[in-house]
């Protein structure tokens, strides 16, 4: 039997406390992965997380964690603006990386990270693994088989609303329940695109293939947000609309906005001359696929391959699935659809939309996956 992967978690904020650490410390995965270390610049939070979830080591910095030599792989769950620099530190230390969305904030950063990892023999897996979902794989097959006729257009997107301010891990008084959401509204890495729209765009490009060009409009609409009596300033764009060109006059509308979303567009709504695919239906009729009953019972994560037993009832099981994709890659050499190359293409679309908004010109896209 292979030894379990010695695993570290970088950042002990909301996603780690609600999802990553509970999943990875369940009994059924200890033969494959053990959480041995956590780190957070809020050191009492790192200590509290280590105590709650049984990690042997708590560190105040990634530098200290890597210098300790205690981990083979990490999940980077810090604010998105830190992901590139922290990912490069891990690569340079020979430590394999799972990135919570998004992997970087620019396509150039993604290029450098992927190249450095390849040169060092380090494995990268990036969330969100939307194409691991049997529903999305089935939609892709249906479209390829002509279920929608000739594709005409598609739409996906998301809205911030007050989701992050209202999370339950932010309403208490101890280090694991008083987590401030201010970074979601600041540069670099804040805004709804990297945090929320990334899901729908990963699904859209996974199903439809890489886009070729993007045009965007973007800016700050809500300039400050209230959180527990404190006003949090917004300097990262929170209202972005874009049009993607997939070639041959097939276009898509993608949005990440401060508030207000179009129904049934969290995952792609796809139109063609033969009808529409929307939220598990083809022309209004539910279509079948492997795992549909599990998705209906447990939500859309029920059919993910590693989400079984107690994991079905724990928050953020899709993130756990992506981490286990890295574990399988390291333990068994099993390839994954949650690739850094797919993540880079989605990041380039966001990066290009911001550049388009600044220049008033469409931006050609150069990456694929």
What is the secondary structure of 74-110 as a DSSP string? EEE-S-GGGHHHHHHHHHHTT-EEEEPSPS-SSHHHH
Domain 5-126: CATH superfamily, name plus number: NAD(P)-binding Rossmann-like Domain (3.40.50.720)
Regions of the chain short of the pLDDT cut 70: 1
Rounded to whole angstroms, what are the CA distances from 120 to 38, 90, 98, 114, 247? Answer: 24, 10, 16, 10, 36
Taking alpha carbons only, the member of 307, 78, 345, 336 closest to residue 202 is 345
The Cα 185–Cα 221 span in angstroms is 11
At 335 the pLDDT is 98
Output the pTM of the full model.
0.97
> Apex CA 91: angle with CA 88 and CA 97, to 5°?
95
At 1 the pLDDT is 59
Q: How far apart are the first and last CA of the chain?
A: 34
Question: Average pLDDT over the chain, rounded to whole?
Answer: 98
Paired tokens of 202? 């990963």
At 37 the pLDDT is 98
Domain ranges of the chain: 5-126, 131-301+338-364
Rounded to whole angstroms, what are the CA distances from 136 to 206, 325, 338? Answer: 8, 17, 13
At 248 the pLDDT is 98
Burial pattern 92-102, b for ≥16 Cβ within 10 A else e, equals: ebebbbbbbbb
Q: What fold is seen in the domain 131-301+338-364? A: Dihydrodipicolinate Reductase; domain 2 (3.30.360)
* Run of H or E residues at 327: helix 317-332
The Cα 238–Cα 222 span in angstroms is 7
Rounded to whole angstroms, what are the CA distances from 110 to 87, 88, 323? Answer: 10, 10, 19
The residues that bridge with 271 in the sheet, in sequence order, are 153, 276
What is the secondary structure of 121-184 as a DSSP string? T--EEES--GGGSHHHHHHHHHHHTTTTSSEEEEEEEEE-TTHHHH-GGGSSSSTTT----GGG
């Amino acid at each position: 039997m292979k030894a379990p992967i010695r695993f570290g978690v970088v950042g002990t904020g909301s996603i780690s406390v609600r999802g990553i650490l509970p999943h990875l410390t369940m009994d059924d995965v200890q033969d494959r992965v053990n959480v041995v270390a956590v780190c957070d610049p809020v050191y009492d939070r790192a200590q509290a997380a280590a105590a709650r979830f049984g990690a042997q080591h708590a560190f105040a910095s990634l530098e200290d964690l890597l210098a300790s030599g205690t981990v083979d792989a990490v999940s980077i769950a810090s604010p998105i603006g830190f992901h590139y620099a922290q990912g490069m530190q891990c690569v340079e230390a020979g430590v394999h990386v799972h990135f919570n969305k998004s992997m970087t904030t620019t396509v150039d950063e993604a290029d450098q990270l992927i190249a450095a990892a390849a040169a060092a023999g380090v494995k990268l897996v990036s969330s969100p693994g939307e194409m691991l979902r049997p529903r999305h794989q089935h939609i892709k097959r249906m479209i390829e088989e002509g279920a929608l006729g000739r594709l005409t257009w598609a739409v996906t997107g998301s809205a911030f609303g007050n989701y992050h301010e209202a999370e339950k891990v932010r309403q208490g008084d101890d280090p694991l329940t008083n987590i401030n959401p201010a970074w979601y509204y600041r540069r670099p890495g804040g805004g709804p695109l990297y945090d929320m729209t990334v899901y729908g765009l990963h699904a859209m490009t996974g199903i439809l293939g890489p886009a070729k060009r993007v045009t965007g409009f973007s800016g700050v609409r809500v300039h400050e947000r209230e959180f527990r009596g404190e006003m949090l300033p917004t300097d990262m764009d929170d209202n972005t609309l874009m049009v993607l060109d997939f070639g041959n006059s097939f276009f898509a509308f993608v949005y990440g906005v401060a508030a207000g979303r179009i129904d049934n567009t969290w995952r792609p709504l796809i139109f063609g001359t033969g009808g529409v695919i929307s939220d598990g239906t083809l022309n209004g009729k539910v279509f079948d696929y492997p795992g549909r009953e599990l998705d209906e019972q447990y939500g859309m994560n029920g059919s993910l391959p590693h989400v079984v037993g107690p994991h079905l009832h724990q928050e953020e099981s899709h993130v756990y699935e992506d981490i286990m994709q890295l574990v399988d890659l390291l333990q068994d050499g099993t390839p994954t659809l949650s690739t850094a190359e797919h993540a880079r293409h989605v990041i380039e679309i966001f990066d290009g939309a911001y550049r388009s908004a600044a220049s008033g010109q469409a931006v050609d896209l150069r990456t694929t996956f």
